[in-house]
C-alpha cells in the first residue's frame, strides 16, 4: 500500500477501518492540557468504559449476598475464573482447559518453573534472551539458585551480536542445539519488551523439544498483540499479564497456559494451594493434594474477583473484535507509523536520525516500535509529552511506542508524526 503522511490520508484509513468503532469504548486520559496520543498500551492498556459496570456488579453482589456471593452471585465467585478461560484461550490459541486466569505474572512464571524447570543429572541449564525484562531475569536467576545451582553456569543468555540490536533467531536455535542434553529449559519473552522483536515461537519450541528440553514463553508483550497458537505450536507452558495489551487494570490478573500433554498429570510436581484442588471435593478439606485437571490445577488461591471482573470486561471486547481483525489492523497501522517516522527522519537527518531498532519485517514484530533518536536526549521526549504524546522513554535515547489496534487510530499516527517533527525542531 502507498502511504501518505497527511491528515486526509490518515482519516481515510480510519474511515475504512473495520475496528474504528472500538475506540469509543475506551477512556482516553484527560489529565493533559492537550488531547493525548496514547501509545503506551504495551505498558498499561486503556480502561474500557464497560469495566466499571463489570466491577460494580461484583460490588453489588458482595453488598447483597456477603459470603453467599460465592454461589448466589449472577457469576458465582466460586467458579468466576471459568467465565474467563475460554475467552483468554482464544486470544493465545489454546484449548479452554489449558488456560487459567489467576495470580500475577511473575508469580505465575515461578509456579510454572517449579513444575517445568526440573534440573536433573547433566540436564540443568536454562536458555533465555539477554536483557530480558528485569522481573524475568530475577525469576530465572532465583529459580536456578533455588536448586542450589550457579546462574553464571546454568543460565545461558543469548545476546545480539556485537554492534547489533536484535537477537538473531539462528543464534538462539544453535545455542539450543549446542547445549543439547544439558538443556533443561528454554524460557524466552515471545516479544522482547525493549526492542519489540517477536521470536518464532513455533520453531524455538520444535528445536527445544528436539534436544529434549522444555519450552516456555513469557507473553507479557505478546498476549492481545500477536496472533498466537500455543496449543498447535506445542509450547509447554506460558504466562502473560492482563494489563498491557489486554487492558485489564493496573497490576491486573495474569494468564497461565499449560499444554494438555502436561496439564492432565496430577503427579507433576507443583506448589499447591486449595484453589488448585479438585473442585468437586475441595470443601471436604481433606489432607493430601488432589489437583484439578487442566491448567486450573496450578491455582493457589480463590480469585480476586474485582480484578477478574476488569479482565472479563476487556476479554469480552477482544472476543467481539476478534484477534484476526486486531492482527490485520496491527500490521497496517504499525507499518503506517513506521512510514511516517522514516519520512520525518529523512527530512530531519541533520538534527536527528531516527533509527527504528524493531524488526522491519512484520513477521518479526507486533504493534511496538522502538526508536533510537540519535543526537537527541530526554529533551525530545519531554517535548513530545508537552504536546500530549504518552510514550515510553528508556535511557539513554530510546522511545518505545505502540499503537494498540483496538483503540488507536491512523490519525493518532499522523498526529504523532507532526508532534515528533516539531519536537525535533
Interface with ligand PLP by CB under 6 A: which residues?
Answer: 104-106, 133, 135-136, 189, 193, 218, 220-221, 241
Under DSSP, the state recorded for 102 is -
Q: How long, in residues, is the chain?
A: 425
- DSSP 3-state assignment of 317? helix
CA torsion sign for 255, 95, 97, 89 is positive
- In the complex, the smallest distance separating the C-beta of residue 272 from ligand PLP, rounded to whole angstroms, is 20
Under DSSP, the state recorded for 78 is G
Give CA–CA dist 82/278, Å, rounded. 14
Task: Between 105 and 384, name the residue whose CB sits nearer to ligand PLP.
Answer: 105
Side-chain-facing half-sphere of 344: CA atoms under 13 Å: 27
The 3-class SS string of 124-170 reads: CEEEEECCCCHHHHHHHHHHHHHCCCCHHHHEEEECCCCCCCCCCHH
Give CA–CA dist 395/376, Å, rounded. 11
Task: Between 301 and 422, name the residue whose CB sits nearer to ligand PLP.
Answer: 301
Sequence-distant (≥ 6) Cβ neighbours of residue 196 within 8 angstroms: 221, 358, 359, 365, 366, 368, 369, 370, 400, 402
- In the complex, the smallest distance separating the C-beta of residue 298 from ligand PLP, rounded to whole angstroms, is 15
Task: Between 142 and 349, name the residue whose CB sits nearer to ligand PLP.
Answer: 142
- In the complex, the smallest distance separating the C-beta of residue 205 from ligand PLP, rounded to whole angstroms, is 18
Give CA–CA dist 269/291, Å, rounded. 11
Task: Between 189 and 405, name the residue whose CB sits nearer to ligand PLP.
Answer: 189
Task: Between 193 and 233, name the residue whose CB sits nearer to ligand PLP.
Answer: 193
- In the complex, the smallest distance separating the C-beta of residue 135 from ligand PLP, rounded to whole angstroms, is 4
Task: Between 386 and 392, name the residue whose CB sits nearer to ligand PLP.
Answer: 392
CA trace torsion 408, 229, 296, 292 (10° rounding): 170
- In the complex, the smallest distance separating the C-beta of residue 274 from ligand PLP, rounded to whole angstroms, is 22
The set of cell numbers assigned to 77 is 465467585
Task: Between 191 and 371, name the residue whose CB sits nearer to ligand PLP.
Answer: 191
- 393: β partners: 399
Task: Between 220 and 390, name the residue whose CB sits nearer to ligand PLP.
Answer: 220
- In the complex, the smallest distance separating the C-beta of residue 310 from ligand PLP, rounded to whole angstroms, is 14
Give CA–CA dist 421/161, Å, rounded. 32
- In the complex, the smallest distance separating the C-beta of residue 103 from ligand PLP, rounded to whole angstroms, is 9
- In the complex, the smallest distance separating the C-beta of residue 250 from ligand PLP, rounded to whole angstroms, is 10
Amino acid at each position: 500500500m502507498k502511504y501518505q503522511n497527511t491528515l486526509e490520508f490518515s482519516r481515510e484509513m480510519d474511515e475504512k477501518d473495520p475496528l474504528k468503532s472500538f475506540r469509543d469504548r475506551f477512556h482516553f486520559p484527560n489529565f493533559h492540557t492537550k488531547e493525548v496520543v496514547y501509545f503506551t498500551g504495551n505498558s498499561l492498556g486503556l480502561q474500557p468504559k464497560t469495566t466499571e459496570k463489570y466491577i460494580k456488579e461484583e460490588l453489588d453482589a458482595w453488598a447483597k449476598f456477603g459470603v453467599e456471593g460465592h454461589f448466589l452471585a449472577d457469576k458465582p465467585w466460586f467458579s468466576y475464573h471459568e467465565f474467563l478461560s475460554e475467552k483468554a484461550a482464544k486470544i493465545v490459541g489454546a484449548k479452554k482447559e489449558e488456560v487459567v486466569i489467576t495470580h500475577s505474572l511473575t508469580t505465575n512464571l515461578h509456579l510454572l518453573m517449579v513444575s517445568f524447570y526440573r534440573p536433573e543429572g547433566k540436564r540443568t541449564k536454562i536458555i533465555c534472551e539477554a536483557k530480558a525484562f528485569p522481573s524475568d531475569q530475577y525469576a530465572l536467576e532465583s529459580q536456578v539458585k533455588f536448586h542450589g545451582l550457579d546462574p553464571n553456569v546454568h543460565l545461558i543468555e543469548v545476546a545480539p551480536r556485537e554492534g547489533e540490536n536484535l537477537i538473531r533467531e539462528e543464534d538462539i536455535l544453535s545455542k539450543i542445539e549446542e547445549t543439547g542434553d544439558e538443556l533443561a529449559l528454554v524460557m524466552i519473552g515471545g516479544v522482547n519488551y525493549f526492542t519489540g522483536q517477536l521470536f518464532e515461537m513455533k520453531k524455538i519450541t520444535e528445536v527445544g523439544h528436539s534436544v529434549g528440553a522444555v519450552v516456555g514463553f513469557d507473553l507479557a508483550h505478546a498476549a492481545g498483540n500477536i496472533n498466537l497458537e500455543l496449543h498447535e505450536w506445542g509450547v509447554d507452558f506460558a504466562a502473560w499479564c492482563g494489563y498491557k495489551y489486554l487492558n485489564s487494570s493496573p497490576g491486573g490478573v495474569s494468564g497461565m497456559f499449560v499444554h494438555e500433554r502436561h496439564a492432565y498429570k496430577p503427579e507433576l510436581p507443583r506448589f499447591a494451594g486449595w484453589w488448585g484442588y479438585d473442585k468437586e471435593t475441595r470443601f471436604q478439606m481433606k489432607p493430601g493434594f488432589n489437583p484439578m485437571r487442566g491448567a486450573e490445577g496450578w491455582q493457589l488461591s480463590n480469585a480476586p474477583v474485582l480484578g477478574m471482573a476488569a479482565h472479563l470486561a476487556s476479554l469480552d471486547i477482544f472476543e467481539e473484535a476478534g484477534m484476526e481483525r486486531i492482527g490485520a489492523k496491527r500490521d497496517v497501522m504499525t507499518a503506517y507509523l513506521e512510514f511516517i517516522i522514516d519520512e520525518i527522519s529523512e527530512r530531519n537527518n541533520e538534527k536527528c536520525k531516527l533509527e527504528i531498532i524493531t524488526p522491519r519485517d512484520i513477521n518479526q514484530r507486533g504493534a511496538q516500535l522502538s526508536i533510537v533518536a540519535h543526537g537527541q536526549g530526554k529533551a525530545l521526549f519531554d517535548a513530545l509529552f508537552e504536546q500530549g504524546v504518552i510514550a515510553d522513554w528508556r535511557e539513554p535515547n530510546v522511545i518505545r511506542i505502540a499503537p494498540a489496534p483496538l483503540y488507536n487510530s491512523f490519525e493518532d499516527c499522523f498526529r504523532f508524526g507532526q508532534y515528533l517533527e516539531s519536537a525535533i525542531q
